[in-house]
Amino acid sequence: MKQLFIFSSALVMLLAFASCEKVIDIRLNDTAKKYVVEGNISNEAGQCTVNITQTKDFSENNDFPGVGGAVITVSDNGGAPVALAETARGVYTNAAINGTPGHTYTLEVTVGGQRFSSVSMMPAVVNLDSVYIEDRVLFGDSTKIVNVTYKDPAAKGNAYRFIQYRNSVREKTVFVTNDDFTNGNNVTNQLLIFGDDDADKKIKSGDFIKVTMQCIDEPVYKYWFSIDGATGESNNATPANPVSNVTGGALGYFSAHTTQTKTIVVP
C-alpha cells in the first residue's frame, strides 16, 4: 500500500525535470546520547542476541561502537530470567535459548544506570513458498525485481519482514508488510527498491540473491514500518523516530521472530 504513495512522489520528482541536488553544510544541534537496544530471538537454535549501542552526533562518523557492561536477561513465556553474556563489546548472547513459535519473550536491560524492558511474541511459522526474479519496466528502465510468495493464514494479524541480500550485501530498504489487505490469500510480494539509480546496485544476471523472511508480531511490524520516517530521505512526510516496543526511553526494538531463507541465482 505504501508503495503507491512512494510511486506518486517519485512521479513528482520526475516532473520536476529541472531539479538539481547539491550537498550543503548544515549546522545541527548536538544532543545528549541515547541508548539503542536491538534484540533478536529467532526459532533457529542458539539465535538470541542483543546489541547495545548509542546515538552519535550528526557530524561524527558512522562507526557505532557497542556499549559494554550491560546486564541483560531474557525470559521465555514467563519463566525464570536467563542472563546473556557479553561475547563481543556491546554484543550479548545466550546460545542456550531456543525460540519457540507461540512463546512470549521478555527482555530486561540494565545499562549505565538505566533500565529498559520489552516484550515480543514469536508468531507461528508461515512458509516462504518461493523466491523468483521478474523483469519490470519502470520509468523507461528495465529493472529486475525479487518476488516472494507465501500463503497468508486465515486468521488476521500476520506481519512479515523480508531482508534481501545481493551478492551477500544487504539491501538498505526495509521490506515489511502485514495482512490488512491480503488476509488469507496466496500473496506475491515484490521487493521494490526506490530512489537508487546507482547502476552498480541494480540486480543483474548471475547475481546471487538471498532472501530471509521473518514472521513478526504487530509491535515489531510497527517499528519497521515507521522507521521510514527516520531515514532522512522521506520526501514529504514529517520525520519522526520509529515507534519502539522498548520501554524506559531507549531507541530500538526487541523482535522475536521465525526465520526462513531462500536463495536464487538471477537468470
Partner 1 sequence: MKQTFVLAGLLLTGLFLTAQQKFTIGGTLKSKRNGETLIGASVRTGSTGTVTNDYGFFSLTLPQGTYNLQVSSVGLQTEIIPVTLDKNITLNVSLDEISKDLEEVVVTAAPKGRSLKSPQMGIEQLSTREIKNIPMLFGERDVLKAIQLLPGIKSAGEGNAGFFVRGGAADQNLILLDEAPVYNASHLLGFFSTFNSDAIKDVTVYKAGMPAQYGGRLSSVLDIKMNDGNNQDYNVSGGIGLISSKLNIEGPLQKDKSSFLISARRTYADVFLKLSSDPSINNNALYFYDLNAKLNYQLGSKDRLYLSGYFGADKLGVGDLFALKWGNGTGTLRWNHIYSNKVFSNTSLIFSNYNYEINIKNGANDVTIFSQIRDWNIKHELQWYANDKHNVRIGFNSIYHTMRPGDITASQGSNFNNQAFQRRYSWENALYVSDVWKMTDKLTLSYGLRLTAFSIIGAGDFYNVNAAGKVTDTMRYGAGQFVKTYVNLEPRVAASYELNDISSLKVSYVRNVQNLHLISNSTTSSPTDKWTASTNLIKPEISDQVSLGYYRNLLDNKYELTVETYYKDMQHQIDYRDGANIYVNGAIEAQLLYGRGRAYGVEWLLKRKRGKLTGWLSYTLAKTERKIDGINQNQWYNARQDRTHDIAIVAMYQLNKKWSFSANWIFYTGDAVSFPSGKYTSGGEVYFYYTERNGYRLPNYHRLDLGATLQLKNKKHWSSELALSLYNAYGRENAYTIQFRQNKDDPSKTEAVRTALFKYIPSISYNFKFK
Q: Is 104 helix (H, G, I), strand (E, B) or coil?
A: strand
Check binding of 4 to partner 1 (CB under 8 A). yes
Q: Is 250 helix (H, G, I), strand (E, B) or coil?
A: coil
Q: Which is nearer to partner 1, 94 or 178 (CB)?
A: 178
Contact present, 106 and 119 (Cβ < 8 Å): yes
Q: How far is the CB of 64 from partner 1 (least distance, A)?
A: 4
Report the distance separating Cα 119 and Cα 107, nearest Å.
6
- List binders of partner 1 among 150-179 (CB under 8 A): 170, 172, 174
Report the distance separating Cα 178 and Cα 189, nearest Å.
11
Q: How far is the CB of 181 from partner 1 (least distance, A)?
A: 5
- List CB contacts of 42: < 8 A, sequence separation 6 or more: 99, 214, 256, 257, 258, 259
Report the distance separating Cα 239 and Cα 26, nearest Å.
17
Q: Which is nearer to partner 1, 43 or 177 (CB)?
A: 177
Show the cell assigned to 168. Answer: 551477500
- List binders of partner 1 among 72-111 (CB under 8 A): none
* Binding residue for partner 1, selected from 160, 216, 242, 254, defined by CB under 8 A: 242
- Judged by CB under 8 A, the stretch of 4-12, 41-49, 97-105, 114-122 that binds partner 1 is 4-12
Q: How far is CA 56 from the centre of its chain?
A: 20
- Judged by CB under 8 A, the stretch of 60-68, 81-89, 109-117, 204-212 that binds partner 1 is 60-68
Check binding of 47 to partner 1 (CB under 8 A). no
* Binding residue for partner 1, selected from 87, 127, 130, 231, defined by CB under 8 A: 231
Contact present, 69 and 126 (Cβ < 8 Å): no
121-150 footprint of partner 1 as x/- string (CB under 8 A):
-------------x-xxxxxx-----x---
Check binding of 56 to partner 1 (CB under 8 A). yes
- Phi, psi (deg, nearest 5) at residue 225: -65, -45
Check binding of 222 to partner 1 (CB under 8 A). yes
Looking at residue 228, the DSSP 8-state letter turns out to be G
Q: Is 91 helix (H, G, I), strand (E, B) or coil?
A: strand
Q: How far is the CB of 263 from partner 1 (least distance, A)?
A: 19
Q: Which is nearer to partner 1, 78 or 181 (CB)?
A: 181
* Binding residue for partner 1, selected from 72, 74, 84, 187, defined by CB under 8 A: 187
* Binding residue for partner 1, selected from 50, 67, 251, 256, defined by CB under 8 A: 251
Which single residue is written with the C-alpha cell 550537498?
Answer: 23
Report the distance separating Cα 115 and Cα 92, nearest Å.
16
Check binding of 21 to partner 1 (CB under 8 A). yes
